[in-house]
Amino acid sequence: MKMKPMPIKEPDHINWYVVVYLFFVTLLGSLASYCYHIINGNKFNLMILIAQIFISTFAGALVVLAASYFNWQFELAGGVAGLAGWSGATLIKALEERLIKKTRGHDD
């Protein structure tokens, strides 16, 4: 069985302002989450902050891909990107667990 190639959008047709905006909202979500932890008594640690930003940026990149694939409205994509920034590793871990279940045939 021959697989069809996946459609990839041409870079000329991507609205780069929206992509940059989504990453900015992801960064804000990441910083808001870190500030929340500081307010709740955790000590400031620059390396933890940088790690959180990298993880949240990855989660935001997944949101950008999903928004592009599902053709989400700008506001929905922005909200989900902010939540991805806030959730960071928690979101990635949940997606990973879902993917593993699906590949094992335990799709609920």
Can you give the pLDDT at residue 18? 87
Q: Is residue 11 part of a domain?
A: no
Quote the DSSP letter at residue 95: H
Of residues 85 and 1, more confidently modeled: 85
- Give how many domains the chain has, as a whole number: 1
With a CB cutoff of 8 Å and minimum separation 6, the contacts of 35 are: none
Range of the domain at 74: 27-100
In a domain, 91, yes or no: yes
38-88 tens-digit pLDDT: 999 999 999 999 999 999 999 999 988 898 888 889 899 999 999 999 999
Contact between 64 and 81 under an 8 Å Cβ cutoff? The reply is: yes
